[in-house]
C-alpha cells in the first residue's frame, strides 16, 4: 500500500532552481531515504508534500489525500520535522509543547515525558535562548509527541551532537519496527544507510537514482587497495593489467580497482607476477555508490568540493 506519493512533481523557481519531474512512492511501514547535497531539492519536495506551497505541475499525496487541497487534514496524520526550524516568538519550550499538545488534542503527557528524557530536553527556557541543538531536540519531541503513523523528517539530526545523532537513529529504528512509515531527507550517509529500506538520490532537483539498501549491501562488486613492494613492481602491474584502475598513486606504489567475483582469479594470477606489500578489500558503502554516481556524471572538481561541503 502506497502511503506517500510524489508523482512528476515540478516547481521551477528559474535559473535551474527547483524540482523537476520528481517521482517516488513510500510504502506502508517502509523507511525511504531522500539523499542529496544541500540545495539539491530535498526540502523543496518536502515543503510541497506538506502543503506549504503549490506545485507548477504534478501531484503529491499522503494517505491518498492531495497535499495541497487537504493540507490541514494531512498535518494531523503526520509527524513532521522541518529542516529549518521556526518557533513562535516569546515562548518557552514548555509553552510550545503545551501549544502543540492542544493543537493535536493530546491530554496524556506520558509520551512527551518519555521523549524529553530520551533526548535530554530542557524545555523550561525561552526558545530564543536555546542552543541550535536544544531547539532541534524540542522539534523532535513535538514531531513524535502524538505517535503518528507517518513521519516526514527533513535533515532531522542537523545541529545534534554525535551522541544525540546516534540516539535519534536508534529511536527511528524503534519507530520503524513498530510499523511507522518514514520519509527521511538527509545529506548524512550513515543516517540514511542505518535506517532506510530504499534510497532516492536527488541532484539539481532531479531524482537520478533509486536503489534498494539491501542491494547495496549485497553488491557483488569488490574494491581493493593494493600496495606493491617497489616502483618496479607497481609499474609492471599497471603496464600489464587487464583491469581498469580507479586510482593510481605512483609515489606510494598503490592502486585501487573494482571487480566482480568472477574476475578474482584473474586478479590473483596477475598479482602472482609481482611482489606486494599488502592488499586489502574496501567495504562498499552508500557513500561509494553516491560518489560513483556523481563521478559518472563527470562532476567538475569545483563542484565536487562544493558537494563535499554540503555532505559533511
**How do beta strands 198-203 and 57-62 pair?**
unpaired
Query: For the segment 201-239, what is each residue's pLDDT rounded down to a tens digit?
Result: 999 999 999 988 887 777 777 889 999 999 999 999 999
Domains of the chain: 2-216 (3.40.50.300), 220-283 (3.30.70.80)
Alpha carbon 169 to its chain centroid, in Å, reads 12
Give the pLDDT confidence score for residue 293 in this predicted structure.
Answer: 59
Query: For the segment 22-35, what is each residue's pLDDT rounded down to a tens digit?
Result: 999 999 999 999 99
- In 3D space, the residue among 122, 111, 15, 6 whose CA is nearest the CA of residue 61 turns out to be 6
Instruction: Taking residues 94-117, report their average pLDDT.
Output: 95
Task: Say which DSSP state 229 is in.
Answer: S
Local structure of 262: helix, strand or coil: helix
For 306, the enclosing helix (H) or strand (E) is helix 301-311
Give the pLDDT confidence score for residue 42 in this predicted structure.
Answer: 96
Give the pLDDT confidence score for residue 67 in this predicted structure.
Answer: 97
pLDDT confidence tier of residue 299, bands split at 50, 70 and 90: very low
Give the pLDDT confidence score for residue 137 in this predicted structure.
Answer: 97
Instruction: Taking residues 271-288, report their average pLDDT.
Output: 86
- In 3D space, the residue among 158, 180, 145 whose CA is nearest the CA of residue 31 turns out to be 180
Q: Average pLDDT, whole number, for the chain?
A: 90
Please check the confidence at residue 305 and state whether its pLDDT lies above 80.
Answer: no
Instruction: Compute how many other C-beta atoms are within 10 angstroms of the C-beta atom of residue 24.
Output: 18
- In 3D space, the residue among 60, 94, 92 whose CA is nearest the CA of residue 78 turns out to be 60
Can you tell me which residue has the cell 524540542?
A: 138
Please check the confidence at residue 302 and state whether its pLDDT lies above 80.
Answer: no
Instruction: Taking residues 72-76, report their average pLDDT.
Output: 88
Please check the confidence at residue 254 and state whether its pLDDT lies above 90.
Answer: yes
Please check the confidence at residue 303 and state whether its pLDDT lies above 90.
Answer: no
**How do beta strands 222-228 and 206-212 pair?**
unpaired
Please check the confidence at residue 306 and state whether its pLDDT lies above 50.
Answer: no
Provide the grid cell at 219: 553488491
Instruction: Taking residues 36-53, report their average pLDDT.
Output: 94
Please check the confidence at residue 86 and state whether its pLDDT lies above 50.
Answer: yes
| Side-by-side strand order, sheet with 181-186 | 78-81, 150-154, 181-186, 31-35, 198-203, 206-212
Amino acid at each position: 500500500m502506497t502511503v506517500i506519493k510524489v508523482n512528476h512533481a515540478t516547481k521551477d523557481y528559474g535559473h535551474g532552481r527547483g524540482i523537476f519531474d520528481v517521482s517516488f512512492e513510500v510504502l506502508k511501514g517502509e523507511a525511504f531515504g531522500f539523499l542529496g547535497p544541500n540545495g539539491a531539492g530535498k526540502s523543496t519536495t518536502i515543503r510541497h508534500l506538506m502543503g506549504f506551497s503549490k506545485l507548477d505541475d504534478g501531484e503529491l499525496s499522503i494517505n491518498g489525500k492531495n497535499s495541497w487541497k487537504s493540507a490541514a487534514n494531512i498535518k494531523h496524520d503526520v509527524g513532521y520535522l522541518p529542516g529549518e526550524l521556526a518557533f513562535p516568538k516569546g515562548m518557552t519550550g514548555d509553552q510550545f509543547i503545551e501549544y502543540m499538545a492542544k493543537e493535536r488534542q493530546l491530554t496524556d503527557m506520558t509520551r512527551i515525558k518519555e521523549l524529553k528524557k530520551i533526548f535530554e530536553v530542557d524545555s523550561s527556557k525561552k526558545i530564543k535562548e536555546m542552543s541550535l541543538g536544544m531547539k532541534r531536540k524540542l522539534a523532535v519531541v513535538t514531531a513524535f509527541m502524538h505517535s503518528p503513523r507517518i513521519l516526514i523528517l527533513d535533515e532531522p539530526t542537523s545541529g545534534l551532537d554525535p551522541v544525540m545523532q546516534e540516539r535519534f537513529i536508534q529511536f527511528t529504528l524503534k519507530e520503524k519496527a513498530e510499523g511507522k512509515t518514514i520519509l527521511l531527507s538527509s545529506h548524512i550517509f550513515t543516517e540514511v544507510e542505518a535506517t532506510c529500506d530504499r534510497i532516492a538520490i536527488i541532484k539539481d532537483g532531479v531524482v537520478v537514482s533509486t536503489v534498494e539498501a539491501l542491494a547495496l549491501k549485497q553488491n557483488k562488486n569488490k574494491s581493493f587497495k593494493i600496495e606493491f613492494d617497489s616502483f618496479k613492481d607497481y609499474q609492471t602491474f599497471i603496464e600489464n593489467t587487464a583491469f581498469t584502475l580507479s586510482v593510481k598513486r605512483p609515489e606510494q606504489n598503490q592502486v585501487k580497482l573494482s571487480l566482480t567475483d568472477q574476475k578474482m582469479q584473474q586478479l590473483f594470477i596477475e598479482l602472482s607476477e609481482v611482489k606486494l606489500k599488502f592488499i586489502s578489500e574496501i567495504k562498499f558503502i552508500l557513500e561509494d555508490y553516491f560518489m560513483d554516481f556523481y563521478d559518472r556524471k563527470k562532476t567538475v572538481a569545483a563542484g565536487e568540493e562544493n558537494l563535499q561541503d554540503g555532505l559533511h
